[in-house]
Chain A
Amino acid sequence: MNHDPHTGFIVAAYLIAAAVVATMVVAILIDHRSLKRQLRRFGDAGESRDARRR
């Protein structure tokens, strides 16, 4: 692969795809942590409350 003239394009494609996927994952996880923290401030147990209810 090191001798392929288009290695740079291939590596760039995989890096961009990884960056976009990582951004989506991290954004959702940060949002989740923030929501859980705010819900705890209201004294709401969030998902665990629903799990117990069932």
Chain B
Amino acid sequence: MAPDPTSANVLPGVVRPVGWLTRLANPATFLHFAALALPWFAGTTVLLFAVGLALALASPPDYQQGLTVLIMYLHVPAAWLAMMVYMVMTASALGTVVWRHPLADAAQKAAAPLGAGFTLICLATGSLWGKPMWGTWWVWDARLTSVLILFLIYLGLVAIWQVFEDQGRAARAAAIFTLTAVVIIPIIHFSVVWWNTLHQPASVFRMGGPSVAAAMLRPLMTMALAFTALFFTLHLMAVRNEILRRRLRRLAILRASGEER
């Protein structure tokens, strides 16, 4: 009989991470954890967005951007999340390649559309900020182009999961693609340093501290926390869906094999 894809004890001889991570990585334990944690995660997300938006609306207009600075409270956190989600996927891809854990596959698959969503928000809000501030919707500079490539990578990963019927093969293909394409993250981060771009350099995480005024930094960081909480909430929900989908597939196979007999 084929190994249970939802069991933590598949593929004998494969080295597993130890401790709490192993216990949480058991699909049944994860479903239990998700049921307990989701209301708290969702509540925290709503609260952080409410505080973040209130702080954003109360913040002063920028001396150069005016009220257009309000777009930054969406654009910057979305840009951070676009890269953070990819790092979560990279860690999951390592889980697939090194430990061949099915929950790592589920985490990878669940994160790709979310990463695409945050990157789309980053690109759309950046464009809507660029038109009044730069006088153009788009320029093919290093930062904008590399973020567009990240968006295409996310779409490619979503497509990989759709193309392969065998989810094990899809997981390995997606993991290898994710690990190969991770090079885009340092390229995005350092694009404003390595090349002469229209996009401004880092103004929060930089040597010498943030160059953003405290009145704007507070809503910005609160919105960044809200976006992060949103991602973890949605990721938890999406991983739960993947576990249920695998259970459904297993039940369908069992029923089909029972009917054949």
Q: Give A contacts to B, CB under 8 Å.
A: 1, 4-7, 9-10, 12-14, 16-17, 20-21, 23-25, 27-29, 31-32, 35-36, 38-39, 42, 44, 46-47, 50-51, 53-54
Residue of chain B at shortest CB distance from A42: B251
Is A47 a contact partner of B31 (Cβ separation < 8 A)? yes
User: In chain B, residues 74-95, which have Cβ atoms closer than 8 Å to a Cβ of chain A?
Assistant: 74-75, 78
Which listed residue (A23, A24, A31) contacts B241, Cβ 8 A?
A31
Residues of A within 8 A of B244 (CB): 32, 35-36, 39, 46-47
Query: CA separation between A46 and B243, bound complex, in Å?
Result: 10
Is A7 a contact partner of B32 (Cβ separation < 8 A)? no
Classify the interface of chain A: helix, strand, loop or mixed.
helix
Classify the interface of chain B: helix, strand, loop or mixed.
helix
Would A42 and B248 be within 8 Å (CB), given that A10-B67, A10-B71, A21-B117 are in contact? yes
Q: Is B131 interfacial (CB 8 A cutoff)?
A: yes
Give 17 A-B contacts (CB < 8 Å), ordered by A residue: A9-B132, A13-B74, A13-B75, A17-B125, A20-B124, A24-B114, A28-B237, A28-B238, A28-B241, A36-B244, A39-B247, A39-B248, A42-B252, A44-B251, A50-B28, A51-B35, A54-B28
